Amino acid sequence: MTKSELIARLAARFPQLVVKDADYAVKMILDAMTDALARGDRIEIRGFGSFALNYRPPRLGRNPKSGDKVQVPEKYVPHFKAGKELRERVDYPQ
Amino acid sequence: MTLTKAELADLLFEKVGLNKREAKDMVEAFFDEVRLSLEGGDGVKLSGFGNFQLRDKPQRPGRNPKTGEEIPITARRVVTFHSSQKLKTAVETTPRGSVQQF
């Protein structure tokens, strides 16, 4: 499913709204989630999962082309952890 | 601070002009549709944010960390998330105070 398919499915669930509303709502939700992570905040969606940042310490890397050593600075990367309900629903029936 | 469904609904009420009921339902529906797609075995690509993919993991040996007893970890299907370059860059380049971990 792509973002435009998601918008179409949401629009179908809210016949009283125009497609533009669903489109704008999806954009707002994703922007708010991006902004939260960029601020260093967590995101917790019950039944779905949580997003947080993982720390990557500075390290000595190499330029794969020239073989030169380069200092790679510390950084944070987004990490998603599926919630219990999503995990169980996606898994094979036990 | 933690972003939750309640804050997202407030945002849709204030910025998109949905009424309170619609805003709350829209946020529920958003995550419900993503979940339904994944449940049906179809990954979700949200351009500019990231992709949710499904991975089938074979059975592997494990052990009970308390007792040391060997028990197989059964084959399973799991969700993985890969952030888009845009999200990675936003997270890397924005200065922040404290970062909370899991």
The closest of A78, A8, A10 to A43, measured between CA atoms, is A78
User: Which among B2, B50, B49, B9 is positioned nearest to B27, based on CA atoms?
Assistant: B9
pLDDT tens column, A29-61 = 999 999 999 999 999 999 999 999 999 999 999
Residue A66 distance to chain B (closest CA, Å)? 25
- Is B5 in Cβ contact with A1 (below 8 Å)? no
More confident residue, A84 or B102: A84
Q: Give me the pLDDT at residue A6, please.
A: 98
Chain A CB within 8 Å of residue B35 CB = yes
Map residue B12 onto helix, strand or coil. helix
Q: In the numeric block, which tokens belong to residue B75? A: 């084959």
Cβ–Cβ gap B92/A14 under 8 Å: no
Low-confidence winner among A83-87, B32-36, B66-70 (lowest mean pLDDT): B66-70
Model confidence band, residue B101 (pLDDT cutoffs 50, 70, 90) = very low
Q: Is residue B53 predicted with pLDDT exceeding 90?
A: yes
ipTM confidence score: 0.91
Assess B53–A contact: CB distance below 8 Å, yes or no: no
> Does the pLDDT value for residue B96 go beyond 90?
no
> Is B8 in contact with A29 (Cβ distance < 8 A)?
yes
This prediction's pTM: 0.89
